[in-house]
């Protein structure tokens, strides 16, 4: 796509710091990182940013390649884990955001934020913070609503 920022990067019209690529995908360091090594994992072919709209074959290959890139970040940055976010916003080109989780210990420990947050609508970013505890009855009602609208 002519005016897509990610397409311009893929075509070499905009500079980038590539860390991995193959014929179908490209991993670059984000120019606006919120942590060291934050990476954007792009499809080279322009697809809509809503990940569920990818063709099945591309989707499957994308996630197989994703495992290679996250492993590369783990080893290259000496981190135990890399968080994966598929938000599908900002730039309308299929991409996955990768966040190296710096500071984790060798042995798994729960890491929870002190504050809780809840959003009624999308605020322009994602959060993995827990929200306020919901009543199980309310959750079951919502679960039934979702299932009733999606039954085949």
Domain containing residue 89: CATH number: 3.30.428.10
What is the distance between the alpha carbons of residues 76 and 57, in angstroms, rounded to a whole number?
A: 29
Q: pLDDT confidence of 129, banded at 50, 70, 90?
A: confident
Q: Which residue segment(s) compose the domain that 61 sits in?
A: 5-100
Q: pLDDT confidence of 130, banded at 50, 70, 90?
A: confident
107, containing H or E segment: none
Total structural domains within the chain: 1
Q: 127 in a domain, yes or no?
A: no
pLDDT digit string (tens) for 139-152? 999 999 999 998 77
Q: How many CB atoms lie within 10 A of CB 62?
A: 19
Q: 148 in a domain, yes or no?
A: no
Q: Which of 46, 93, 95, 102 is catalytic?
A: 95
Q: 53 in a domain, yes or no?
A: yes
Query: 0.85 cut: is pTM over it?
Result: yes
Q: 132 in a domain, yes or no?
A: no
- What pLDDT is stored for residue 85 in this prediction? 95
Q: 56 in a domain, yes or no?
A: yes
Is residue 95 annotated as a catalytic residue, yes or no? yes
Region 54-80 average pLDDT: 97
Q: 136 in a domain, yes or no?
A: no
């Amino acid at each position: 796509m002519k005016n897509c920022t990610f397409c311009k990067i893929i075509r070499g019209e905009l500079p980038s710091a590539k860390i991995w690529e193959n014929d179908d995908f490209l991993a670059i360091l984000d120019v606006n990182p919120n942590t060291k090594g934050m990476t954007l994992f792009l499809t080279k072919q322009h697809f809509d940013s809503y990940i569920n709209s990818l063709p099945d074959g591309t989707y499957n290959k994308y996630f197989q390649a994703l495992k290679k890139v996250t492993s590369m970040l783990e080893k290259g940055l000496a981190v135990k884990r890399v968080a994966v976010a598929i938000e599908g916003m900002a730039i309308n080109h299929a991409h996955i955001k990768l966040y190296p989780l710096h500071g984790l210990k060798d042995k798994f420990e729960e890491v929870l934020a002190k504050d809780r947050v809840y959003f009624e609508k999308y605020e322009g970013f994602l959060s993995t913070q827990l929200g306020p505890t919901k009543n199980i009855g309310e959750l079951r009602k919502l679960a039934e609503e979702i299932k009733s609208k999606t039954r085949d």
